[in-house]
Structure formats: C-alpha cells, structure tokens
Amino acid sequence: MGVRVHAHWVFIADGDGDLFDYCDKVMRALLQQERCLDGFVDSAVSADAARAVMEIEADISGDDLSHAIAEGHAAVRAALHSAGIGTPDWPTHGEALSMVLKDLRTEQLV
C-alpha cells in the first residue's frame, strides 16, 4: 500500500520577466510531467503579481512518504528547468522531508 500526498510550493520571483508568462510555461511543463510520471497528478500553478509569488500544487503517489516527496520534488524541479527557471538553492531530499507536516494518522471517512 502506498501513500498519496498533496504538496504545495511557494516561489518568490526575483527576475524581471513576466511572471504570468513563466507560470504558463511552468504549467505546460507540469502537464508534461503528469504525462510522463505515474502518480504525479492534478498540478496547478497560480501567481500573485503584487507579491511577485508563484505557487505550485500537485498530488503525488509513492511507495511511502519519502518516495512520494522525492517524485514530486523532482517533477516540479524538472518543470521549472523546462521553463528556463534555475534552481541553484533547491533543498535536498532530507531538507524537503524535514519541512513536511507528518501527522500521518488516518481516519476512514464514511
């Protein structure tokens, strides 16, 4: 049995390019990741030009939490690179896992 997580990334734009153009490019790249990766689904991109913020969300399935986070992190990073956005300060897998809310109690909803 695997896990499915909903992940959310927030990025502050520090370049002089059109934020909405970048978001369109990233969304196209995320859709390509969805076509290539089983378990990476329902991605979305939003932008707040006033705050110079781009947000990405996606659902990711994996064998366990670590695998799901690794798959999602890799897919988003690949999408950013495809859109021409560098990620020199990208967190390591261990750093990403340390940022994950890990309340893994589950309840069946009826």
Domain residue ranges of the chain, discontinuous segments joined by +: 3-98
- Which tens digits make up the pLDDT trace of 39-92? 999 999 999 999 999 999 999 999 998 999 999 999 999 999 999 999 999 999
Query: Which helix (H) or strand (E) segment is 54 a member of?
Result: strand 53-62
- Which tens digits make up the pLDDT trace of 59-72? 999 999 899 999 99
In this structure, CATH architecture of domain 3-98: 2-Layer Sandwich (3.30)
12-21, long-range: CB < 8 A, 24+ apart: 12/51, 12/52, 12/53, 13/52, 13/53, 13/54, 14/52, 19/47, 19/49, 19/52, 19/54, 20/47, 20/49
The rounded distance, in Å, linking the Cα atoms of 28 and 83 is 9
